[in-house]
């Protein structure tokens, strides 16, 4: 692998439309701008190839670490000293580029290098630079005998409350598999233990076969405890459990986060407070997400998307097909919205096959939200499977906590979601949903099917 310092150049756009930006980038790379210092324009860029000693492979990323393009560039076209120092180029609307030379009205500044991850050792090294900008270049199957693992406790989560992960990870839709943790007395458990102001995108995480991610509280396959972060286009598959609260497939305890375009497939089992996407949520928005499998609380607060919600929580354009069980405060989308909170549940679909409350039959159990004590709440245009078993019975519509009845066949039709729930169908983050023409349920555009 090329030295990562030689492979990275970053271009950030300031007050330029993308078309103008790409035109300027092309001029910069091929040296076709008029005028300037002709001595830097003697060699033909077409002569550059992967075996030439004076050529560098340069990856251009935007500020979210999405790859713009990769180019083979001669040393004369980009100043190697600037490339090695990790300079990001920022241009104003009057940028002029002349013969490989950045001239009038150009400002540039130092920025962290993008660090490329290709194996378990490099993944484990993230804990040594918690504010780094990372790109995952391939799938990684975790090996319990290598760095990052304890033979008795499994993977050591990246980041903790004292030293959280604050960087960016763009996994480029690659998968980290083989994750397991066994720390029965520990909080903040997952691939990442604790994140603050972080961004995680395009990541898949799968637990090891026959094992789980297990601890005391705040347990998520991707992140145990997350604050003011975003998790986008990401998913987890597998099993997790905790004897305490806040257990879920994506994030255990979510505070002031944005979670979008994600899913969980597996089994979430909590002492109390269990969810499909987030166990406990405060000030969090969850949109365009879904869960499959089972969500269980041994006492209270179980929901297909969120188990427990505090103030400023919104769940929108999401669905759950998980079986839900608990002792009270159990719902197909949300288990419990606490007193003095504010929550919004809008345009969701509870397609759960069953919701069960043990020991307290028919108490605080509903198809959309089990118990809502919030001071301010909006329950708007939520649908529920009319054949859903709620403690062994079906429910007639009319109660906003139970949602509007829809037959199973309707949940297999795109028009139900697109026309009645207002979901976006397409090929991008704003319109992320897809459906198979021969039936089935919605899935996300980036899923491999």
Convert the pLDDT of each residue in 293-304 to its tens digit: 999 999 999 999
CB-based contact 291:271 (threshold 8 Å): no
Report pLDDT for 438: 74
Report pLDDT for 113: 62
Of 51, 77, 110, at which residue does a domain stop? 110
Report pLDDT for 85: 34
Domain count, the chain: 2
Query: How far, in Å, CA of 49 to CA of 399, rounded?
Result: 67
- Two structure tokens written together for 410: 């309707």
For 148-229, list the strands marked E by DSSP.
149-150, 154-155, 168-179, 181-182, 187-189, 192-196, 199-207, 213-215, 217-220, 223-227
How far separated are the first and last CA of the chain, in Å rounded?
30
Low-confidence ranges of the chain (pLDDT < 70): 1-113, 360-362, 397-398
Of 56, 90, 110, at which residue does a domain stop? 110
- Does the residue 413 lie in any domain? yes
Report pLDDT for 10: 36
Phi then psi for residue 442, to 5 deg, are -60, 150
pTM of the model: 0.80
Report pLDDT for 334: 98
Residues 200 and 164 grouped into a single domain: yes
Of 66, 82, 110, at which residue does a domain stop? 110
254-290 exposure pattern, b = at least 16 Cβ within 10 A, e = fewer: bbbbbbbbbbbbbbbbbbbbbbbbbbbbbbbbbbbbb
Residues 81 and 163 grouped into a single domain: no
Phi then psi for residue 211, to 5 deg, are -130, 180
Query: How far, in Å, CA of 379 to CA of 282, rounded?
Result: 17
For 216, the 3-state DSSP assignment is coil
Report pLDDT for 133: 87
CB-based contact 71:141 (threshold 8 Å): no
> Which residues form the domain of 34?
4-110
- Does the residue 449 lie in any domain? no
Torsion angle, CA of 180/181/187/193, rounded to 10 degrees? -50
Query: How far, in Å, CA of 366 to CA of 375, rounded?
Result: 19
Residues 24 and 169 grouped into a single domain: no
DSSP summary character for residue 376: E
Report pLDDT for 21: 41
Report pLDDT for 36: 36
Report pLDDT for 94: 29
């Amino acid at each position: 692998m090329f030295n990562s310092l030689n492979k990275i150049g970053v271009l950030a756009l300031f007050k330029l439309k993308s078309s103008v930006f790409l035109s300027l980038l092309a001029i910069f790379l091929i040296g076709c701008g008029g005028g300037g210092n002709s001595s830097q324009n003697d060699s033909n860029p077409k002569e550059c190839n992967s075996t030439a000693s004076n050529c560098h492979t340069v990856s251009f990323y935007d500020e979210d670490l999405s790859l713009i393009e990769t180019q083979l560039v001669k040393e004369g076209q980009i100043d190697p000293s600037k490339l090695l120092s990790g300079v990001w180029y920022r241009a104003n609307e009057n940028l002029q580029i002349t013969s490989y030379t950045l001239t009038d009205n150009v400002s540039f500044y130092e920025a962290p290098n993008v660090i490329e991850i290709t194996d378990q050792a490099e993944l484990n090294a993230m804990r040594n630079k918690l504010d780094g900008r990372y790109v995952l270049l391939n799938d990684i199957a975790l090996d319990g005998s290598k760095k990052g693992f304890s033979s008795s406790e499994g993977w050591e989560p990246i980041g903790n409350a004292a030293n959280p992960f604050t960087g960016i990870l763009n996994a480029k839709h690659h998968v980290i598999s083989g994750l397991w943790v066994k720390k029965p007395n520990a909080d903040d458990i997952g691939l990442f233990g604790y994140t603050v102001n972080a961004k995680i995108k395009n990541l898949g995480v799968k637990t090891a076969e026959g094992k789980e991610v297990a601890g005391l509280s705040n347990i998520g396959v991707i992140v145990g405890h997350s604050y003011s972060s975003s998790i986008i286009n990401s998913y987890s598959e597998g099993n997790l459990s905790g004897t305490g609260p806040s257990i879920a497939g994506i994030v255990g305890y979510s505070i002031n986060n944005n979670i979008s375009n994600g899913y969980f497939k597996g089994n979430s089992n909590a002492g109390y407070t269990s969810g499909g996407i987030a166990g406990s949520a405060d000030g969090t928005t969850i949109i365009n997400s879904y869960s499959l499998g089972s969500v269980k609380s041994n006492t209270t607060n179980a929901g297909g998307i969120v188990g427990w919600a505090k103030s400023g929580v919104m769940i929108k354009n999401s669905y759950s097909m998980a079986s839900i069980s608990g002792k009270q405060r159990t719902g197909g989308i949300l288990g419990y919205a606490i007193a003095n909170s504010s929550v919004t549940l809008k345009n969701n679909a509870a397609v759960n096959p069953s919701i069960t409350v043990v020991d307290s039959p028919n108490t605080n159990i509903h198809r959309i939200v089990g118990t809502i004590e919030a001071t301010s709440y909006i329950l708007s245009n939520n649908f529920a499977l009319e054949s859903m078993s709620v403690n062994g019975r079906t429910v007639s519509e009319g109660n906003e906590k139970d949602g509007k009845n829809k037959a199973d066949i309707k949940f297999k039709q795109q028009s139900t979601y697109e026309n009645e729930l207002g979901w976006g169908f397409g090929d991008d983050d704003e319109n992320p949903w897809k459906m198979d023409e021969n039936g089935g349920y919605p899935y996300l555009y980036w899923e491999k099917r």
